[in-house]
């Protein structure tokens, strides 16, 4: 089936529906009408700019353009992780923990997918590399943010319990074991739920987009299965790395709990 191209008028109608919702929320006194409008404008401008960048990137098809774009994506994702923390690590650790975890997880899984599974020619083909990395970073970011939030919040709330366990002779790994496992579990639950509901409760975004663009449903399903598996691995690996590094940072070299390292 030929791709149906959308006109500015089509997009204007969709935006009008959002404005209608914003007006309704204002009439009901919800206090989020302005936020709806601002978010819609930001979305449109950001996606339009991304579209222009991707068109230039696809035309160039060189890794020297791909690397800066990937670096910017990683930097912004790291900032988002840090901004979501109610108890953020002080100094560069607040930004570096999440960024390093996502770099290890998302970049390694993306490279594996490009070199060993999809194998585009060239391997750094932007139409494959950028969407893959974007989906992996987005989902890994959520897992890392949730895992670190649960780790630091639980450490603050259960400080007395942790210190008592340390005084009873347990090392830092034993004293924080339950909290660390819970933090890792929390970071992975969203992707598990998404995988369990895919295809029954909802059609995932990538699959829907491919079908709308004319890709045969069977082929779209295969790509969606691949993406969901990669997202699960990337999210799990990123959460494990972030929580492990964060748990270690909560203690000093003498295995004393140091919550003053948090803001």
| Domain boundaries along the sequence of the chain | 1-60, 62-261
Report which of residues 93 and 217 the model is more confident about: 93
Residues in CB range of 249: below 8 A, 6 or more apart: 89, 93, 97, 261
Give strand pairing partners of 251.
Answer: 257
Give pLDDT, residue 202. 63
Tokens of 246: 């964060």
List the single range of 25-29, 58-62, 73-77 with lowest mean pLDDT: 58-62
Give strand pairing partners of 89.
Answer: 262
Give pLDDT, residue 240. 92
Give pLDDT, residue 201. 63
pLDDT in tens, 23-54: 888 888 888 888 888 888 888 888 888 888 77
Q: What share of the chain is helix, strand, coil (3-state, %, to 5)?
A: 80, 0, 20
Average pLDDT over residues 105-129: 87
Highest-scoring range by mean pLDDT, 7-11, 126-130, 142-146, 255-259: 142-146
Distance CA(235)–CA(187), nearest Å, equals 8
Give pLDDT, residue 46. 84
Give pLDDT, residue 3. 65
Give pLDDT, residue 61. 65
Q: At 200, is the pLDDT very low, low, confident or very high (cuts 50, 70, 90)?
A: low
Give pLDDT, residue 1. 55
Distance CA(68)–CA(129), nearest Å, equals 13
């Amino acid at each position: 089936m030929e791709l149906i191209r959308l006109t500015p008028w089509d997009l204007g109608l969709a935006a009008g529906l959002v404005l209608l919702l914003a007006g309704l929320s204002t009439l009901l006194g919800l206090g989020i009408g302005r936020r709806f409008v601002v978010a819609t404008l930001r979305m449109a401008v950001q996606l339009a700019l991304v579209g222009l960048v991707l068109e230039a990137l696809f035309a160039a098809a060189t890794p020297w353009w791909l690397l800066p774009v990937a670096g910017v994506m990683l930097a912004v994702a790291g900032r988002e992780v840090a901004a979501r923390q109610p108890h953020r690590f002080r100094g560069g650790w607040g930004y570096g923990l999440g960024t390093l975890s996502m770099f290890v997880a998302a970049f390694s899984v993306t490279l594996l997918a490009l070199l060993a599974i999809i194998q585009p020619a060239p391997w750094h083909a932007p139409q494959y590399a950028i969407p893959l990395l974007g989906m992996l970073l987005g989902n890994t970011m959520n897992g890392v943010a949730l895992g670190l939030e649960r780790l630091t919040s639980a450490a603050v709330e259960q400080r007395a319990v942790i210190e008592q366990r340390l005084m009873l002779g347990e090392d830092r790994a034993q004293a924080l074991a339950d909290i660390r496992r819970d933090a890792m579990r929390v970071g992975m639950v969203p992707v598990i739920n998404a995988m369990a509901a895919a295809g029954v409760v909802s059609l995932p975004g990538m699959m829907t987009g491919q079908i709308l663009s004319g890709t045969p449903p069977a082929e779209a399903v295969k790509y969606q299965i691949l993406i969901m598996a990669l997202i699960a691995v990337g999210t799990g690996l990123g959460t494990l790395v972030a929580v492990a590094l964060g748990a270690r940072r909560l203690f000093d070299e003498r295995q004393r709990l140091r919550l003053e390292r948090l803001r």
